[in-house]
Structure 1
Amino acid sequence: GICTDSLGHIFVADSINGRVDMFTSRGEFPIVFGGGGTSRGKLGSSSGVAVSADNEIFVAEWSNQRVQVFNMNGDSLRLFKTVVPGEDGRAMYPTGLDIDKDGRIWVVGKKFFAGRAILMFKPNGSFAGSFGKQEGAQLQYATTDKDGNILVTDISRSRVHVYDHNGQYSFSFDTVRGTSRGKLGVASGVAVSADNEIFVAEWNNQRVQV
């Protein structure tokens, strides 16, 4: 996962090394934090990263089944498990996350016991809702736009699903997998510009389509 903050810093979640790398807008490399592990301050398969309006850094940890929050110095502030209520306390394996205009954290992940889903949390880590249980979907990464809509990539069906700010399904970019313009390969990443242009990273086509 990758994201930016209001100052132009670039944050990259390094899942192999279990860390987050922070770069300046000039590409300088001032801070690395995390490191593989399960204790507080360590990161397990850091798969997604997002920065809040308060400059708190939220990191999704696949193998630790949690989200951990850091300050700009790389100090751990708090963490919370991606537990799915009503599922006997079983936790989701998070693959990506983003923060909407109201400060809510939307976490995309895999539940081996019931497919993939999206969970919503408040900034303090308390659970606020879940959605996105589409049959056969493999939801991978999420982003939000300036209106609060949530866009999620579905790598199994080469689609981008769109939900409103309440988590209600709106529509999908429903395409047949392909290489021509307008078709999507493995839709692995998604971002929305200030002009509401949607950028989709296609893993197997080795390109970004707008």
Structure 2
Amino acid sequence: MSPLSSDHQNTTRRYTVPYLPSGRLDPNICGRIENPEKSEENWIECRSFGGTGSQRGQFRGPRSLAVSDRGEIFVADYRNKRVQIFDFQGTFLSSFHTTLPGEEEDIYPYGVTLDSGGNIWVVGRAPSKPKSSSLSSSFALLDYCGVTTNSSHYNRERTASSSDFAAQYTRQGRYVIHFDVQNTRWAARGIAMDSRENNVVVTKVIEDGNSVVELFKPNGTLLRTIGDQEGIEYPHYVTVDREGRILVSDSAGPFVFVYNMEGKFLFKFGGWGEAGGQLNRPHGICTDESGRIFVADSGNDRVEMFDSTGEFLSHVISDIKQPLAVAMTGNGSLVVSNSENVVTIFHN
């Protein structure tokens, strides 16, 4: 990948700060930075947490993020088959394994979101014996572990049969209900909530066909299927904005697709490349209170910001290794996970 132009470099300001004995950044550092330049593009890295492993506070594939109005960060810790919960300082609070009644093992959580009652929803897959499928592609896609590959010829794992579920848990991690979302071979799905109607939005990859987004009632009743005419290839991440629009990123391509809740296609934005407004394998997506859209531009190792109509605004973070998920806190901080098993909090 060629370097970004000088106009797009150094958009994330970093400060050298002392580390605490635990290895985390001082949780009060954001409030002690003196006179940072205030601008749309000046996102300050306040703190990072995580690292590779299975101990509490470590990750093996932080595939998805959600934040609560109580100051909590929920991380879908994919390979560890659990959800971990942290405060906005990156301090570990608790965790729970994504267990379903009747399943021999916990499920691998692909995505995590919160409903209007503060309950936790996870979409995931029960373990099953994978088989190898050799594919040749002009795209670089997510592999089964949730990281990207730069090779155009590689093997991806897929399961012999579908065993994907959407499940609801209490804030304490107690199982409540689940339903089968069925019939997807590829190992990535996203989940979001339509908070106005409390319906569950789940992405679905269809082999040899146009992939879709499905809208369910909490009891598992399918309400509608969205996006089967626009040629979405590998929809992994999805979010619902304050206007009730569904935004889904195509991790096999360069576009974000936008629909209304009735399923009408509104527009798409992106396009292959490294320039402003172009994308390369977009992953996580979220919006803020003003409707601005943040996209983890994984293939370009950066996070991009667009307005509510898809017009490019800025490269907000331009030096993060393969960002996976993004989430916006109520106080305007941006939380980003990446393929190096680290979660970072940025402040504007």
> Structure 2 length normalisation: TM-score?
0.54
2:84 paired with 1:21: yes
2:244 paired with 1:148: yes
Counterparts of residues 138-177 of structure 1 (less than 5 Å): 138-175=234-271, 177=272
Find the counterpart in structure 2 of residue 196 from structure 1. Answer: 291
- RMSD over aligned CA atoms reads 2.2
Structure 2, gaps ≥5 residues long: 1-63, 127-162, 306-348
Which residue identity is paired with 1:7? R
Structure 1 stretch 192-201 or stretch 1-10: which is displaced more?
1-10
* 1:107–1:92 Cα change, 3 Å: farther
- Per-residue displacement from partner, 1:44-76 (whole Å, max 9, x unpaired)? 221100001101100010454111110011111
How many angstroms does 1:112 deviate by?
3.2
Count of equivalent residues: 203
How many angstroms does 1:202 deviate by?
1.1
- Per-residue displacement from partner, 1:105-155 (whole Å, max 9, x unpaired)? 110122336442111111222221111113352212100110100000012
Find the counterpart in structure 1 of residue 73 from structure 2. Answer: 10
Please tell me whether Structure 1 or Structure 2 has the larger radius of gyration of its CA atoms: 2
How many angstroms does 1:26 deviate by?
2.3
State the alpha-carbon separation in 1 of the partners of residues 118 and 180 from structure 2.
21
Q: Percent identity?
A: 26
- Per-residue displacement from partner, 1:2-48 (whole Å, max 9, x unpaired)? 11112121111111111111112222212111157884696422110
Find the counterpart in structure 2 of residue 71 from structure 1. Answer: 170
Counterparts of residues 1-210 of structure 1 (less than 5 Å): 1-34=64-97, 39=102, 43-63=106-126, 64-83=163-182, 90=183, 95-100=189-194, 101-112=196-207, 114-133=209-228, 134-135=230-231, 137-175=233-271, 177-210=272-305
Tell me if structure 2 keeps the 8 A contact 1:17–1:36: no
> Structure 1 length normalisation: TM-score?
0.88
Looking at both structures, which has the greater relative contact order when contacts are Cα pairs under 8 Å and sequence separation is at least 6? Answer: 2
State the alpha-carbon separation in 2 of the partners of residues 15 and 135 from structure 1.
28
State the alpha-carbon separation in 2 of the partners of residues 38 and 76 from structure 1.
8
Structure 1 residue matching 2:190: 3-state secondary structure: strand
Structure 1, gaps ≥5 residues long: 84-89
State the alpha-carbon separation in 1 of the partners of residues 209 and 216 from structure 2.
20
